[in-house]
Amino acid sequence: MVDLERHARHLSLPNVGVEGQQRLVGASILIIGAGGLGSPAALYLAAAGVGHLGLVDDDVVDLSNLQRQILHTSESVGTPKVESAKKRLHALDDGVKVTSFQTRFNPGNAMQLLEMGWDLVIDGTDNIPTRYLIDDACALKGIPWVYGSIFQFEGQVSVFGYQGGPSYRDLFPEPPPPNAVRSCEEAGVFGVLPGVIGLLQATEAIKLLIGLNVALSGRLLIYDAASMSFTQLSFERDEERTKILDLSLSSAMFDTSEWCSLEPDSRQGDIEKQEAHEGKNMFNHISITDALERRSSGWSPFVLDVRSDGEYHEAHADSCDLQVPHDQVLSALEQIPSNQDILVYCRSGMRSQIAAMSLIQAGYNAAHMYNLDGGIIAWKSAAPAEIIN
């Protein structure tokens, strides 16, 4: 039943009204992760009047969480996140049904958790295997999901599996090698960044539920908090990729102990793993450790800096061959060789992904395209003498 006073501002919107608000009241959303992304998403979905929220998280509240996980308070430290979140959401609106699952979303419970009638899923996780698992499980159940990712100062948002639209595997066909991408625990995260990304996730979720245009189906939105910029990349379904018939592909990632390690030194052997990815439809990921090791053995890639002009003048790699902002890279094709390995870097590794994808779509060989995970931040940390300030 619609609370006319509480949701009066929604009811006055021509594209929402009573009918749209009723859809929200009757909707059920599963939020996987009650941390940085799940916090703002859950708060605004509850405030918007979504009738049933499910929360999946096996962690407890830590003091270090409070910098960004706004569902929780100092009094919640040491308590399960799902219970802290449930208490906070009921304080906001006790009419919202909140079902908590104090467990980690994994191959053993994924299908069971999704069999509870959810209209969509919100990704509030922080690791790659779980994202592939969410994508596979949601594809099998026919449930759309809203993706969010954060790293240092940059974030990404997209909507997968909506009305036959593309999935996470269409955008990222192959995962990077285990441990190639540092976690937020290792690399840090700008405190307000999850708020921005989580709110964008909630925005697309609400629009989906009430029948408005879902702008990020088939589009990846990139937000850079440092430059306060938004860019988008369009992508489509890959009809030739392997069809998902079960959870075997994503489950295999959970069976690899390397995915669970946060130790940067455990990246040995990434070169061989990276070579196994050559010939795929996706660019290669490479850590600065492996890039430096390859270079010492004679590797000489074309080094492409895709940050802004201002960032480049503040600091750049002395081996940089070309600097062009990531959203202008297609205007510089004549300056970028097509018969040589290309090492693309930005601040932390997100804008360079967009540049790499753009070059591949323009006809460059994916096997020769290398995205530097961690960007110039990782480069400066590993080899400060190679950075010109």
CB 306 within 8 A of CB 224: no
**What are 61's two structure tokens?**
């509240």
Q: Is 6 helix (H, G, I), strand (E, B) or coil?
A: coil
* Pairwise CA distance, residues 295 & 320, whole Å: 14
Q: What share of the chain is helix, strand, coil (3-state, %, to 5)?
A: 40, 20, 40
Residues 6+ apart with CB under 8 A from 301: 295, 340, 341, 342, 343, 370
Instruction: Calculate the CA 2 to chain-centre distance.
Output: 33
Annotated catalytic, 320?
no
Write out the H or E segment, with its range, that includes residue 34. none
- Reduced 3-state DSSP string for 355-384: HHHHHHHCCCCHHHEEEECCHHHHHHHHCH
Cβ density class 86-111: b for 16+ within 10 Å, e for less: bbbbeeebeebebebbeebbbbeebe
Sign of CA pseudo-dihedral 379, 385, 388, 389:
positive
- The dihedral sign for the CA sequence 187, 32, 77, 68: positive
Radius of gyration of the chain (CA): 21
The SS3 of residue 120 is strand
Residue 373: partners with Cβ closer than 8 Å, 6 or more residues away? 176, 180, 181, 182, 285, 286, 287, 288, 349
Q: Token digits for 41?
A: 């998403």
Could you tell me if 191 and 67 are in contact, meaning their C-beta atoms sit under 8 angstroms apart? Answer: yes
Q: Which three-class secondary structure string do you get for 43-103?
A: HHHHHHCCCEEEEECCCECCHHHHHCCCCCCHHHCCCEHHHHHHHHHHHHCCCCEEEEECC
Report whether 120 contacts 143 (CB < 8 A).
yes
Q: Sort strands 316-317 and 387-388 into parallel, antiparallel or unpaired.
A: antiparallel
Active site residues: 184, 346
